[in-house]
Amino acid sequence: MDAATLTYDTLGFGEFDDFPETSEPVWILGKEFNALTEKEDILSDVTSRLWFTYRKNFPPIGGTGPTSDTGWGCMLRCGQMILGEALVRRHLGRDWRWVRSQTQREDYIGILNAFLDKKDGYYSLHQIAQMGVGEGKSIGQWYGPNTVAQVLKKLAVFDSWSRLAVHVAMDNTVVIEEIKRLCMPWLDYGGAACVDLQGGMSERNGCLEGACALAEEETALWNPLLLLIPLRLGLSDINEAYIETLKQCFQLPQSLGVIGGKPNSAHYFIGYVGEELIYLDPHTTQPAVEPCEDSQVPDDTYHCQHPPCRMHICEIDPSVAVGFFCRTEDDFDDWCLRFRKVLYDVSSKGYKYRKFSIHLGTKPLFRTVRGVSCPR
Active site residues: 74, 281, 283
Residues 41 and 126: their CA atoms lie apart, in Å, by 34
Question: Which residues fall within 8 angstroms of residue 369, CB to CB, at 6 or more apart?
Answer: none
Q: Residue 249: in which H helix or E strand, if any?
A: helix 243-249
Amino acid found at 23: S
Which bin fits 302, alpha (ψ -120 to 50), beta or left (φ > 0)?
Answer: alpha
Q: How many CB atoms lie within 10 A of CB 120?
A: 12
Tell me the three state secondary structure of residue 34: strand
Cα–Cα distances in Å, from 210 out to 184, 201, 213, 251, 293?
24, 7, 6, 34, 21
Amino acid found at 273: V
Give the CB-side neighbour count of residue 89, counting CA atoms within 13 A: 25
Q: Give me the helices (H) in 4-73, please.
A: 39-48
**Phi, then psi, of 165 in degrees rounded to 5:** -100, 110
Residue 272: strand pairing partners: 27, 277
Instruction: Give the torsion sign (CA, 111, 112, 115, 119).
Output: negative
* Nearest to 147, CA basis, from 363, 12, 368, 319: 319
Q: Specify whether the CB–CB gap between 145 and 74 falls below 8 A.
A: no
Residue 257: strand pairing partners: 323
Q: Please, is 39 exposed, middle or buried when counting C-beta atoms within 10 Å of its C-beta (0-12, 13-18, 19+)?
A: middle
